[in-house]
A and B are shown apart, each in its own frame.
Chain A
Amino acid sequence: MRRIFMLLAALIFLFGISGCGLRKQIIDDISLISATGFDAGEEGVIMGTITVPRFTKDQQTQTHVFKAESHTIQRNFVKIETQVQRPLAIGKIDVILFNEELASKGIKDIKDLFVRDPSVGSRVKMAVVEGSSNDVLTREYWDQDAGIYVSSMIEQGVDRGNLPDANIHIFTYALYSRGQDPYLPLLSVGEMVKANKVALFKEDRYVGKIPEHLVFAFKLLLGEVNGGEFSLREEEDYYAAIANVTVKRKIKMDRTQQQPKITIELNVESSLREFKGEDTKPKVVADLEKKFERTLTKQCEEIIKQLQELNVDPIGLGSFYRSKERNFNEKEWDAMYPDLEIKPKINVKIMEVGIRK
Chain B
Amino acid sequence: MKLFRSKKDKWNKKVSKLMKQSKKMDDLQALLEACQESNDFFHYEHTFENDTLWISYYKSIVDADVLHKAVFPYLEKESLNSLEKVQSLIPVEKTIITSNVKDIEKNLLNGHMIIRLNDQEKKCLVVNAPVKKERSISPPEVEFSVVGPKEAFVESIDTNLNLLRVRLPIKELKVKEFTIGKLSKTKVAIIYIAGLTNEENVNTVKQRVKEVEIDQVIDSSYLTQIISDNPKSLFPQLLDTERPDRAAAVLAEGKVVVMVNGSPHVLIGPTNLTEFFGAFEDYFLNPILASAFRIIRFFAVIFSILVTPIYVAVLTYHYELIPSDLFGTLISSREVVPLPPILEAIILELTIELLREAGARLPTKVGQTIGIVGGIVIGTASVEAGLTSNVLLIIIALAALASFTTPVYQMGNTIRLIRFPFLILAYMFGMVGVVICFCFMLAHLLRLTSLGRPFLEPLYPPRLKDLKDSIIRFPFSWNTKRPIQLQTQDTVRYSKKKARKKKDIDE
- CB contact list, B240-271 vs A, under 8 A: none
Count residues on chain B whose CB falls below 8 Å from chain A CBs.
25
How far, in angstroms, from A26 to B330 measured CA to CA in the complex? 11
Chain A residue at smallest Cβ distance from B233: A1
B316: CB under 8 A from chain A?
yes
**Min CB–CB distance B330 → chain A (angstroms):** 6
A92 touches B324 (CB 8 A): yes
| Chain A residues whose C-beta falls within 8 Å of the C-beta of B329 in the assembled complex | 59
B330 touches A27 (CB 8 A): yes
**A27-B330, A92-B324, A94-B324 known; A32+B430 contact, CB < 8 A:** no
**Min CB–CB distance A21 → chain B (angstroms):** 7
B320: CB under 8 A from chain A?
yes
- CB contact list, A16-75 vs B, under 8 A: 21-22, 24-28, 30, 32, 53, 55-59, 61
Q: Which one of A4, A12, A55 has the greatest number of beta carbons of chain B within 10 Å?
A: A55
B327: CB under 8 A from chain A?
yes
A92 touches B429 (CB 8 A): no
B171: CB under 8 A from chain A?
no
A119: CB under 8 A from chain B?
yes
B336: CB under 8 A from chain A?
yes
B232: CB under 8 A from chain A?
yes
How far, in angstroms, from A58 to B329 measured CA to CA in the complex? 10
| Chain A residues whose C-beta falls within 8 Å of the C-beta of B324 in the assembled complex | 92, 94, 148
Chain B residue at smallest Cβ distance from A89: B319
B428: CB under 8 A from chain A?
yes
**A55-B331, A55-B332, A56-B335 known; A26+B340 contact, CB < 8 A:** yes
Chain B 429-454 per-residue mask, 1 if CB under 8 angstroms from chain A, else 0: 11000001000100000000000000
How far, in angstroms, from A351 to B395 measured CA to CA in the complex? 49
A91: CB under 8 A from chain B?
yes
| Chain B residues whose C-beta falls within 8 Å of the C-beta of A25 in the assembled complex | 316-317, 319
B278: CB under 8 A from chain A?
no
How far, in angstroms, from A26 to B19 measured CA to CA in the complex? 73
B331 touches A27 (CB 8 A): yes
B317 touches A92 (CB 8 A): no
**Min CB–CB distance A183 → chain B (angstroms):** 25
| Chain B residues whose C-beta falls within 8 Å of the C-beta of A238 in the assembled complex | none
B328: CB under 8 A from chain A?
yes
B327 touches A92 (CB 8 A): yes
A15: CB under 8 A from chain B?
yes
**Partner among B330, B336, B337, B428 whose Cβ is within 8 Å of the Cβ of A21:** B428
A121: CB under 8 A from chain B?
yes
B315: CB under 8 A from chain A?
yes
A59 touches B332 (CB 8 A): yes
**A22-B429, A32-B319 known; A1+B232 contact, CB < 8 A:** yes
How far, in angstroms, from A28 to B440 measured CA to CA in the complex? 32
B309: CB under 8 A from chain A?
no
A4 touches B328 (CB 8 A): no
| Chain A residues whose C-beta falls within 8 Å of the C-beta of B379 in the assembled complex | none
Overall SS of chain B's interface: helix
- CB contact list, A116-159 vs B, under 8 A: 119, 121, 148
B142: CB under 8 A from chain A?
no
B322: CB under 8 A from chain A?
yes
| Chain B residues whose C-beta falls within 8 Å of the C-beta of A55 in the assembled complex | 327-328, 331-332, 335
B335 touches A27 (CB 8 A): no
**A26-B340, A27-B331, A59-B332 known; A92+B315 contact, CB < 8 A:** no
A57 touches B320 (CB 8 A): no
A91 touches B320 (CB 8 A): yes
- CB contact list, A86-103 vs B, under 8 A: 89, 91-92, 94
B317 touches A22 (CB 8 A): yes
Chain B 395-436 per-residue mask, 1 if CB under 8 angstroms from chain A, else 0: 000000000000000000000000000000000111000001
| Chain A residues whose C-beta falls within 8 Å of the C-beta of B317 in the assembled complex | 22, 24-25
**Min CB–CB distance A147 → chain B (angstroms):** 10
**Min CB–CB distance B442 → chain A (angstroms):** 13
Chain B 305-329 per-residue mask, 1 if CB under 8 angstroms from chain A, else 0: 0000000000111011010100111
| Chain B residues whose C-beta falls within 8 Å of the C-beta of A4 in the assembled complex | 440
**Min CB–CB distance A246 → chain B (angstroms):** 28
A92 touches B328 (CB 8 A): no
Q: Which one of B232, B331, B336 has the greatest number of beta carbons of chain A within 10 Å?
A: B331
A56 touches B332 (CB 8 A): yes
- CB contact list, B319-371 vs A, under 8 A: 319-320, 322, 324, 327-332, 334-337, 340-341
| Chain B residues whose C-beta falls within 8 Å of the C-beta of A32 in the assembled complex | 319, 327
A-B contact pairs, 6 of them (CB 8 A): A1-B232, A24-B340, A30-B319, A91-B319, A91-B320, A148-B324
The 9 closest A-B pairs by CB, nearest first: A91-B320, A55-B331, A28-B334, A55-B332, A27-B319, A55-B328, A119-B320, A57-B332, A57-B335
Extra inter-chain contacts (7) besides given A15-B429, A26-B315, A26-B341, CB under 8 Å: A15-B428, A21-B428, A27-B331, A55-B332, A57-B335, A91-B319, A148-B324
